[in-house]
Structure 1
Amino acid sequence: MKKRKRILFIANVDWYFNLHWLNRSLAAKELFDEVHISFQITNPELTSNLEGMGFIVHPIKLERKTLNPIKNILTLFQIKTLIEQVKPDYVHSITVKPNLLSGLICKKSKTNQVMSITGLGRVFSNKKLKSRTAKLITIKLYSLISKNNNNKITFENNDDLETFSKYNIATTSRRYLINGAGVDTDEYEYSKPLFREEVTSSFKILFAARMLYDKGLENIISAVEKLKGLNITIDVAGILDHDSDNAISLETILKWHEEKKINWLGSVEDVKPYIYACDIVCLPTKYGEGVPRILIESASCGRPLITTEISGCRDIVINDHNGFTIPIDDSEALAKAIKKLLLSYPMRVSFGKNGRKLVEDLFSQEIVLKKTKRMYDNDLTN
């Protein structure tokens, strides 16, 4: 098969692209002569590393949280100019704002586009008037953009796919389910959970995510405080996201660390040692995710999981099989789930094995990359 010339990935920010999309972009090199990537740059060293891998990087100014129409129009024109300059055979946009802004450009220019839905987020979960209004606008724009017959949409979980089906956004043949980012099961290899001698042992819960209140860290702290008879440390690793209005400040994190409510690890390059050292990985998020990468990685490593009954999370955590799913914002239910797992080593082992099997069957990097390349191939071979 002859390669097409160019693909242009458009994401919101550099660290997100590097964490979640690097492997899929590297796989695109097998199908395209040039792989261009564009995002807001926060770390020039990261940009340099990506350029060293052969990517052509284009910085854009994209503020994720702003609803300021002037700023968004300026970003829209940046993307329009970029697409005109690169002349890609494919634009692959990632997350809401890049999807909508580049989608409008691609619809007008009839450019091939893939939009990746990486979770519907707070806009679809929050019941406040501002969020409900933003949800309606988002649905209208996605509906408009999907009238471009050169447009495809990928989803990381079934719930999001069904939501778009409900609103008749794109035809069935242009919707693709590709389960999360995928993990390298050889790198994130299975390891039997640690055996604790007795109830008085020191247990570890790992929370690894962006430092946002909606990720549920406070719920873990509250749940652990209810479990007076157990010695539990909450290891916390993650990225400080200053662009989000939901961010937990570093000052608050350090305060919790000093009060010994958490053990703050900071932003870690390699999370694997902390997964292997913990007894449970917990992410009680309050809004729809794609499929959280930390849950896939931890399941691959054989650790039991606790998360909430919400889209994306319930795709990787099957209740009472490889972990527990609990109601949103329910510290009492979370405490019960933690206690049940910590007091049963056989359950932790069983859940860990089940999680590993689930990743091998659905969420491995090999499966995800094969599905992604097949999606491109459907057009590239025509």
Structure 2
Amino acid sequence: MKILILTNYANGLYLFRRELLESFMADGHEVIVSVPPDENVAKLKNLGVSIVETAFNRHGMNPAKDFALMMAYKKLIKEIKPGFVLTYTIKPNLYGGMAARLTRTPYICNITGLGMAIENGGIMSKALIAFYKTATAGARKVFFQNERNKKFMQDRGVAKKNAGLLPGSGVNLTAHPFHEYSSEAEGIHFLAVIRIMRDKGIAEYLEAARNITAEYKNVYFDLVGEYEEDEREVYEPLIKEMEDKGIITYHGHLDNVEPVMAESHVIVHPSYHEGMSNVLLEAAACGRPILCSDIHGCIEAIEPDKSGFTFEIKNTKSLEDAIRKMLSLSEEDRAKMGKLGREHIEKHFDRQLVIDAYKKELENVHQS
């Protein structure tokens, strides 16, 4: 059949769902991806999928533009006549889900995270939840990436009868092998792999780096990630200044973070909200101990006090205390934490689990 995928970011689809697309094509399905155009679209084309460039602003709400997006999705579905529509991220879930429902096309929504607009409450939160309730009502399945997000939405009437739970995007355990713990002879490296924006905790990470490097002489902080354009002017000068002072090493955006992760000793993830952090899944698969925000979407990736420690979100002091706690351990203890993390990922987060869940839903439609 034809499978139409609606998403807001080509690179996210490529990095975390490539194996799913390849599995669909290996089964003989035609895969079409609707996504805003950017330099990453070529990666999807190289996989053999067809691309429909659908431009929209991933952030903010504009009723006229958002209605136009829904109509564009509806038109696209009518033209392509897919056997199934898969949606990822907020706007494709809402407007793509609604378009699929209106055209009576089987569809699956994947709620990769709730976002602060929903989490913070208020009128905007109520409006989005009401929209989600309508947009997902006709879905064959509404996948959530952690139990807390699932319960939060179901308690508010969303996906009460068609919800499913996935282990995030899972990890390709072959593409992300275990790496022996690096020697700490030349210092201990903490690494954050995050999109550079407020909601990912960049301010807390930078402040912690400033304070900890002033306290410890053998501790270093690394950063991988691309700037969120709306916040570039805030963080780019600050990161440049901290680089010049030797407080942090910024590696830019990397499609393959594995080499940097393997050379690091501890992975830090100070995000304010997550569906399920792919970074943490890959970090644990690599065999590195983790420091992460004490929120669902992060804590599932660790066994507390065995493969990592948590800290309070939006709290620099709590993050610094977690770093000091990690530094109080021996090199052998940190290496052991990394090995336990790998074992945890192997048991619970193999990406094949995600592929199998999607294929099961497709098979159910084909048989009905």
**TM-score normalised to structure 2 length:** 0.93
Corresponding residue number in structure 2 for 1:239: 226
Corresponding residue number in structure 2 for 1:135: 125
Partners in 2 of 1:248 and 1:185 — Cα distance? 37
Corresponding residue number in structure 2 for 1:18: 14
Aligned with residue 74 of structure 1, among 45, 68, 75: 68
Partners in 1 of 2:56 and 2:250 — Cα distance? 30
**Worse overlay, 101-110 or 203-212:** 101-110
Matched-pair contact (CA < 8 Å) for 2:209–2:248 = no
Q: Does residue 1:331 correspond to 2:316, yes or no?
A: yes
Q: CA deviation at 1:96?
A: 0.7
Counterparts of 1:247-266 in structure 2, within 5 Å, are: 248-266=234-252
What secondary structure does 2:8 align onto? strand
Partners in 2 of 1:54 and 1:79 — Cα distance? 22
Q: Does residue 1:223 correspond to 2:212, yes or no?
A: no
What secondary structure does 1:153 align onto? strand
Corresponding residue number in structure 2 for 1:95: 89
Q: CA deviation at 1:296?
A: 0.5
Q: CA deviation at 1:156?
A: 1.2
Q: CA deviation at 1:145?
A: 2.3
**Residues 204-251 of structure 1, C-alpha deviation per residue, up to 9 Å, x if partnerless?**
111111111221122223223333034222111112221x45885433
**Residues 243-278 of structure 1, C-alpha deviation per residue, up to 9 Å, x if partnerless?**
x45885433332232232310101113111111111
Name the amino acid aligned to 2:18: L
Quick one: percent identity of the two aligned structures? 24
Q: CA deviation at 1:320?
A: 0.7
Instruction: Specify whether residues 32 and 143 from structure 1 end up closer, same or farther in structure 2 by C-alpha distance, changes over 3 A only.
Output: farther
Partners in 2 of 1:124 and 1:248 — Cα distance? 24
Q: CA deviation at 1:354?
A: 1.4
Partners in 2 of 1:119 and 1:372 — Cα distance? 18
Partners in 2 of 1:269 and 1:145 — Cα distance? 33
Matched-pair contact (CA < 8 Å) for 1:116–1:154 = yes
What secondary structure does 1:206 align onto? strand
Corresponding residue number in structure 2 for 1:346: 332
**TM-score normalised to structure 1 length:** 0.90
Partners in 2 of 1:341 and 1:249 — Cα distance? 27
Name the amino acid aligned to 1:10: L
Partners in 1 of 2:42 and 2:198 — Cα distance? 32
Name the amino acid aligned to 2:107: Q
Q: Does residue 1:282 correspond to 2:276, yes or no?
A: no
What secondary structure does 1:58 align onto? strand
Total equivalences in the alignment: 365
Instruction: Specify whether residues 213 and 261 from structure 1 end up closer, same or farther in structure 2 by C-alpha distance, changes over 3 A only.
Output: farther
**Residues 152-211 of structure 1, C-alpha deviation per residue, up to 9 Å, x if partnerless?**
201111111111221232244x211111112221222112322435xxx52111111111
Matched-pair contact (CA < 8 Å) for 2:303–2:344 = no
Partners in 1 of 2:26 and 2:142 — Cα distance? 21
Corresponding residue number in structure 2 for 1:377: 363
Q: Does residue 1:104 correspond to 2:90, yes or no?
A: no
Q: CA RMSD in A?
A: 1.9
Q: CA deviation at 1:41?
A: 0.6
Instruction: Specify whether residues 274 and 117 from structure 1 end up closer, same or farther in structure 2 by C-alpha distance, changes over 3 A only.
Output: same
Aligned with residue 188 of structure 2, among 203, 207, 231: 203
Q: Does residue 1:295 correspond to 2:289, yes or no?
A: no
Corresponding residue number in structure 1 for 2:36: 40
Structure 2 residue runs without a partner (length 5+): none
Name the amino acid aligned to 1:151: R
What secondary structure does 1:8 align onto? strand
Partners in 1 of 2:62 and 2:137 — Cα distance? 26
